[in-house]
């Protein structure tokens, strides 16, 4: 039988004043627990994007016609709202699951010993992005699915994924100053890749805002531009990203780069190929909802893969107890 210490009045006051410090003083998670908590936040960030896409693709964007309640008279969906109300309200409820995942990551990071403030800050940054995006999602409903607000909603979700990816990576690193594994020329090439990927995602939101899937069966305003023209620009950017990724892989092989950057680049290239095939198939089959949803999932994976390539260009090894200097098992070289 586990002994549970009694909570004294002083403990209760301390818990109310700073609950995170109170928990951290009584619990030390295993490093794997912290890693899994960060990964759970990242997975939920992707899931909320995919389910948000399902809301749009099923025409359920106004299934709950107001916000923060579902209707003027009900906080939750009603039988009269039907299928669309269930889909829209269900996606709203997933926001609480996302908050719980982010909260778990914050608690785990705060309780780790020694305390790594950088991890906690990344967790709190995710929390505030989630809060901001929840409010923006409400505005999207209140303005009748204005396509510009819908695009901003997705872009803020991409920012959340970036933060979650960074935190997940940091949980598997030490806190020493980062040391580059490649030269500046390669780093600049990767930053071009990251910029092109960000533009690819941004243009994709324009395709969504001008395309046929408005998000509701009623008349919804669209971005006044030919969506097929923007889709072609989107395809050109996709080819630029693929070309940059292939060029990066070739350069990394030429300079005999470490396995980390090479492996991440290869993974990104394979994801891009699958996403490209899916993109062309959905275009020539007139954008069926299932394929569009899979393409949204693919865009999240492309963004995560791109960020992982960027983060693989440096290392933060943990200092071995009682040792100083560079760990012998991790050679540090700077290549052009």
| 305-327 confidence digits (pLDDT tens) | 999 999 999 988 764 444 333 33
Q: What is the mean pLDDT of residues 272-280?
A: 92
Mean pLDDT of all residues belonging to the chain? 87
DSSP 318: P
Q: Can you name the residues that pair with 180 across neighbouring β-strands?
A: 314
SS (H, E, C) the chain: CCCCCCCCHHHHHHHHHCHHHHHHCCCCCCHHHHHHHHHHHHHHHHHHHHHHHHHHHCCECCCCCCCCCCCCCCCCCCHHHHHHHHHHHHHHHHHHHHHHHHHHHHHHHHHCCCCCHHHHHHHHHHHHHHHHHHHHHHHHHHCCCCHHHHHHHHHHHHHHHHHHHHHHHHCCCCCCCCEECCCHHHHHHHHHHHHHHHHHHHHHHHHHHHCCCCCECCCCCCCCCCHHHHHHHHHHHHHHHHHHHHHHHHHHHHCCCCHHHHHHHHHHHHHHHHHHHHHHHHHHCCCCHHHHHHHHHHHHHHHHHHHHHHHCCEECCCCCCCCCCCCCCCCCCCCC
d(CA 138, CA 126): 18
Q: Which long-range contacts (CB under 8 A, 24 or more apart) does 55-58 make?
A: 55/87, 55/88, 55/91, 55/215, 56/150, 56/208, 56/213, 56/214, 56/215, 57/213, 57/289, 57/292, 57/293, 58/83, 58/84, 58/87, 58/289
pLDDT at 6: 62
Give the Å distances, CA to CA, from 103 to 110, 129, 194. 10, 13, 28
Q: What is the mean pLDDT of residues 90-96?
A: 94
Q: What is the mean pLDDT of residues 322-335?
A: 38
Whether pLDDT at 44 is above 90: yes
Q: Which long-range contacts (CB under 8 A, 24 or more apart) does 327-333 make?
A: 332/179, 332/181, 333/181
Whether pLDDT at 304 is above 80: yes
| 223-257 confidence digits (pLDDT tens) | 888 888 998 999 999 999 999 999 999 999 998 88
**What are the extents of the domains in the chain?**
27-175, 177-317+330-336
Question: 154 near 205, Cβ under 8 Å?
Answer: yes
Q: What is the pTM of this model?
A: 0.88
Q: 275 Cβ partners below 8 Å, 6+ apart? A: 238, 295, 298, 299, 301, 302
Q: Which of 4-8, 46-50, 209-213, 286-290 has the highest mean pLDDT?
A: 46-50
Question: 105 near 38, Cβ under 8 Å?
Answer: yes
pLDDT at 216: 65
């Amino acid at each position: 039988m586990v002994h549970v210490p009694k909570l004294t009045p002083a403990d209760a006051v301390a818990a109310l004043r700073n609950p995170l410090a109170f928990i951290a003083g009584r619990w030390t998670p295993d490093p794997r627990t912290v890693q899994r908590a960060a990964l759970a936040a990242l997975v939920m960030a992707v899931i909320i994007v995919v389910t948000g896409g399902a809301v749009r693709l099923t025409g359920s964007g106004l299934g709950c016609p107001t916000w923060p309640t579902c209707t003027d008279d009900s906080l939750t969906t009603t039988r009269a709202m039907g299928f669309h109300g269930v889909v829209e309200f269900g996606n709203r409820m997933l926001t609480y699951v996302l908050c719980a995942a982010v909260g778990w990551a914050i608690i785990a990071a705060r309780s780790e010993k020694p305390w790594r403030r950088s991890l906690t800050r990344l967790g709190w940054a995710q929390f505030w992005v989630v809060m901001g995006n929840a409010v923006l999602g409400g505005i999207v409903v209140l303005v009748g699915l204005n396509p510009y607000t819908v695009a901003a909603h997705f872009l803020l979700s991409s920012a959340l994924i970036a933060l979650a990816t960074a935190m997940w990576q940091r949980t598997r690193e030490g806190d020493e100053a980062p040391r580059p594994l490649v030269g500046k020329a390669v780093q600049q090439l990767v930053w071009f890749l990251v910029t092109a990927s960000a533009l690819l995602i941004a243009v994709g939101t324009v395709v969504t805002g001008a395309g046929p899937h408005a998000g509701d069966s009623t008349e919804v305003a669209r971005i006044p531009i030919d969506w097929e023209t923007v889709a072609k620009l989107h395809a050109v950017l996709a080819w630029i990203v693929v070309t940059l990724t292939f060029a990066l892989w070739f350069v990394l092989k030429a300079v005999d780069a470490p396995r980390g950057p090479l492996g991440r680049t290869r993974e990104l290239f394979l994801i891009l190929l699958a996403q490209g095939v899916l993109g062309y198939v959905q275009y020539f089959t007139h954008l069926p909802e299932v394929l569009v949803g899979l393409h949204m999932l693919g865009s999240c994976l492309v963004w995560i893969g791109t960020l992982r390539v960027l983060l693989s260009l440096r290392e933060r090894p943990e200092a071995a107890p009682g040792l100083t200097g560079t760990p012998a098992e991790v050679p540090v070289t700077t290549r052009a």
